[in-house]
């Protein structure tokens, strides 16, 4: 496995841990719907990162495009979840439109994964 794949696996594990932490915080906090959404985004996309790395490693998808999509999942989910979490605890977001930007980039990352599946396998 290459370095990018190992980095992505570590980032996915961190996303998973953060997702569980936010799920617990949302279950025990008052009016914590933002945290539940942030948790879901991290947990869903942590598994997407792991799956994408596995597919790229096995040559099922175009490796370079797949790895770009996986990094997109990490960055985008961090933007989305980070913005919601900061709004919950600090009363302000990361920057204007951070969550929608993260959501839009998540859509783009899913589409990149679709392209990586449709693209001919690298030799």
Q: Is the pLDDT of residue 122 over 60?
A: no
- Is the Cα torsion angle 58, 59, 60, 65 positive or negative in sign? positive
pLDDT tens readout for residues 54-102: 999 999 999 999 999 999 999 999 999 999 999 999 999 999 999 999 9
Domains annotated for the chain, with CATH where assigned, are 3-118 (1.20.120)
Q: Categorize the per-residue pLDDT at 1 as very low, low, confident or very high, splitting at 50, 70 and 90.
A: confident
Q: Which of 11, 17, 8 is nearest to 53 (CA)?
A: 8
Do 82 and 98 contact (CB within 8 A), yes or no? yes
State residue 119's pLDDT score: 86
What's the average model confidence in pLDDT over 32-56?
96
3-state secondary structure of 112: helix
Q: Look at the pTM and tell me if it is higher than 0.75.
A: yes
């Amino acid at each position: 496995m290459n370095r990018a794949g190992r980095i992505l696996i570590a980032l996915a594990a961190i996303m998973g841990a953060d997702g569980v932490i936010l799920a617990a915080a949302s279950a025990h906090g008052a009016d914590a719907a933002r945290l539940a959404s942030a948790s879901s985004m991290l947990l869903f996309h942590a598994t997407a990162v792991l799956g994408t790395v596995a597919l790229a490693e096995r040559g099922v998808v175009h490796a370079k495009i797949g790895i770009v999509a996986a990094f997109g999942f990490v960055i985008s989910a961090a933007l989305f979840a980070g913005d919601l979490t900061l709004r919950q605890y600090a009363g302000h977001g990361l920057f204007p439109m951070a969550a929608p930007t993260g959501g839009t980039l998540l859509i783009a990352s899913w589409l990149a994964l679709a392209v990586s599946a449709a693209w001919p396998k690298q030799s």
